[in-house]
């Protein structure tokens, strides 16, 4: 698992329970009959605490960790390992286990971890739960506290409980589908992301509540309490698996249903719901950029939007010449997400990172998000260790209280309905190797490949290309194997050129709309 990418945006069992649990911190009255009902009670209590905190001082900084943990390197931090034999619920009937993270590196917040079963108790930190590398003295870390937790379940094989969900740092969480490796992240919420007149605020998870599942449960419930200078909130996560753990298929998505209650202490510039964070260094539009031997380097290659009227939009991601925020009007959205469409190892040639195995994430509102827009933040970077992509929904409504629900699907998420969809987009200068002096930086050649069931058997089609900030010409389409190719030239007349294109037959669109922002000075 890669833990070292967040600072860029941030610079922003039984043995364990017996030895690491303090007295119950919750009342011991009659409990709900199911884990789901119990989690609802805990969520309601956490939301009530959030409301009460509005009358008190905002969150204070967490007590600092010892200096040898503050200045620790990422590689050394990874060597502080939770002992697997001390995992919560290890050796007991059921599908799930949980392990804990040590404070240190960039993860300084002391996160309370509570377990709710027949009783409710807070886990107490004990250095004996961890293995330490040479040079770190566990005796100095007594009472230090935890930085977060991770959940394990038999995702890929019944013989092994894989890591399937992680909470670590600010309000970040990660998950993945079967056969995949960690890539993009989610966050509980985002505040003032990408605004030019103020820094982004990063709320933090201050408490995590695990509800013990029953032996046959294939879902796990967890409640997070979130605090920040401007916000108090509670989030109920329900983790489950497409097709179920007992009915595994070759591929399947991991599902997170999230119930949220958020209270603002003061007005903010922009509240982002269901935010996603990822990395895009370069792709087909600039293969081999930065003198890298790999053709492409990215965790996600596109933003997908599904509008209330049924329109689907695909926006290829960029590592821009300058940091850019793009906005897409999306009232009552059906969904949005960051996806990794290209699943071919040949596109990446990376035997260590395996970018072809990174999960996509698609957000589906389960309550009315109302009017608003999806914002896409693209930050210029030269490092693949930087998470430089952010996507979030910003509602029009300026409230002090927000109550909403949504689902995040992670895996090889289908984001098309069988219609034409973009499978590749390449960008260059026209006739660059034939007449290299005939065209300047303001001249661009776009080549876009489309696939989908709606294109099967089609022997002729048309394309519509709209350009703001320039003009398109020499638009042509042709079949290339099982795909259709759209190629056109653009003459830029402004620093930012907005493109939209789709395939159609007569007055019937054949699939999704491509949207793209071209900033010509980025051509090399």
The residues near 367 (Cβ < 8 Å, ≥ 6 apart) are 403, 404, 405, 406
* Contact yes or no for 129/102 (Cβ under 8 A): no
The tokens describing 71, both together, are 């200045």
* Contact yes or no for 473/489 (Cβ under 8 A): yes
> 3-state class of 265 per DSSP?
coil
What confidence tens digit (pLDDT) does each residue in 179-210 have?
999 999 999 999 999 999 999 999 999 999 99
> 3-state class of 142 per DSSP?
coil
> 3-state class of 7 per DSSP?
helix
Among 379, 186, 194, residue whose Cα is nearest residue 269:
194
Does the model's pTM come out above 0.85?
A: yes
The tokens describing 374, both together, are 């999806």
Residue 381's CB is within 10 A of a number of other CB atoms, namely 18
What confidence tens digit (pLDDT) does each residue in 127-153 have?
999 999 999 999 999 999 999 999 999
**Confidence (pLDDT) at 248:** 55
pLDDT surpasses 80 at 434:
no
The tokens describing 158, both together, are 């019944």
| DSSP state letters, 293-345 | SSS-EES--EEEEE-TTS-EEEEE----SS-EEEEEE-SS-SEEEEE-----G
- Between CA 200 and CA 11 the distance in angstroms is 9
pLDDT surpasses 50 at 98:
yes
What's the DSSP call for residue 45? H
Looking at every residue in the chain, the average pLDDT score rounds to 91
**Confidence (pLDDT) at 436:** 73
Angle at 238 between CA 234 and CA 240, to 5 degrees: 160
- Between CA 102 and CA 226 the distance in angstroms is 19
Among 5, 8, 9, residue whose Cα is nearest residue 392:
9
**Confidence (pLDDT) at 5:** 46
424 beta partners: 449
Among 147, 145, 172, 175, residue whose Cα is nearest residue 7:
172
What confidence tens digit (pLDDT) does each residue in 203-227 have?
999 999 999 999 999 999 999 999 9
Among 423, 356, 379, residue whose Cα is nearest residue 278:
379
* Contact yes or no for 253/244 (Cβ under 8 A): no
The tokens describing 146, both together, are 């935890």
431 pLDDT tier (thresholds 50, 70, 90):
confident
pLDDT surpasses 70 at 21:
no
pLDDT surpasses 90 at 80:
yes
Average pLDDT over residues 342-356: 96
523 pLDDT tier (thresholds 50, 70, 90):
very low
37 beta partners: none
Among 132, 151, 109, 88, residue whose Cα is nearest residue 6:
109
């Amino acid at each position: 698992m890669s833990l070292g990418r967040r600072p860029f945006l941030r610079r922003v069992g039984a043995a364990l329970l017996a030895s690491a649990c303090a007295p119950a911190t919750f009342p011991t009255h009659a409990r709900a009959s199911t884990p789901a009902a119990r989690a609802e009670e805990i969520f309601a209590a956490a939301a009530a605490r959030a409301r009460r905190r509005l009358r008190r001082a905002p969150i204070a900084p967490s007590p600092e960790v010892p200096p040898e943990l503050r200045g620790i390197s990422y590689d050394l931090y990874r060597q502080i390992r939770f002992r697997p034999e001390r995992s919560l619920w290890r050796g007991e009937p059921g599908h799930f286990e949980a392990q804990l993270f040590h404070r240190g590196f960039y993860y300084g917040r002391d996160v309370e971890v509570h377990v709710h079963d027949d009783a409710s108790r807070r886990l107490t930190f004990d250095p004996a739960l961890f293995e330490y590398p040479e040079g770190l003295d566990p005796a100095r870390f007594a009472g230090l506290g935890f930085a977060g937790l991770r959940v394990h379940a038999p995702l890929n094989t019944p013989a092994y409980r894989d890591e399937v969900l992680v909470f670590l740092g600010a309000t970040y969480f990660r998950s993945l589908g079967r056969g995949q490796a960690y890539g993009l992240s989610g966050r509980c919420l985002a505040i003032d992301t990408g605004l030019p007149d103020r820094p982004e605020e990063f709320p933090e998870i201050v408490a995590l509540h695990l509800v013990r599942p029953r032996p046959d449960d294939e879902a796990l419930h967890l409640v997070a309490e979130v605090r920040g200078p401007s916000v108090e909130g509670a989030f109920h996560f329900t983790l489950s698996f497409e097709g179920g753990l007992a009915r595994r298929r070759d591929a399947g998505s991991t599902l997170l249903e999230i119930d949220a209650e958020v209270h603002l202490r003061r007005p903010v510039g922009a509240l982002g719901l269901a935010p996603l964070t990822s990395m895009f260094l370069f792709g087909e539009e600039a293969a081999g950029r930065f003198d890298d031997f790999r053709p492409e380097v990215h965790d996600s290659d596109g933003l997908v939007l599904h509008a209330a009227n049924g329109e689907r939009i695909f926006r290829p991601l960029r590592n821009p010449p300058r940091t850019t925020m793009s906005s897409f009007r999306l009232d009552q959205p059906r969904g949005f997400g960051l996806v990794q469409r290209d699943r071919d190892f040949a596109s990446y040639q990376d035997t260590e990172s395996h970018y072809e195995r990174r999960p996509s994430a698609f957000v589906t509102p389960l309550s009315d998000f109302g009017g608003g827009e999806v914002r896409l933040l693209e930050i210029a970077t030269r490092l693949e260790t930087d998470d430089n992509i952010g996507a979030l929904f910003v509602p029009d409504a300026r409230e002090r209280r927000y109550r909403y629900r949504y689902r995040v699907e992670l895996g090889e998420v289908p984001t098309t309905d069988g219609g034409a969809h973009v499978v590749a987009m390449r960008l260059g200068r026209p006739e660059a190797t034939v007449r290299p002096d005939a065209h300047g930086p303001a001249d661009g050649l776009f080549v876009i490949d489309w696939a989908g069931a709606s294109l099967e058997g089609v022997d002729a089609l048309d394309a519509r290309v709209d350009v703001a900030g320039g003009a398109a010409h020499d638009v042509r389409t042709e079949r290339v194997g099982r795909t259709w190719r759209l190629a056109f030239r653009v003459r830029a007349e402004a620093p930012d050129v907005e493109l939209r294109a789709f395939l159609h037959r007569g007055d019937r669109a054949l699939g999704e709309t491509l949207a793209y922002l071209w900033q010509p000075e980025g051509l090399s």
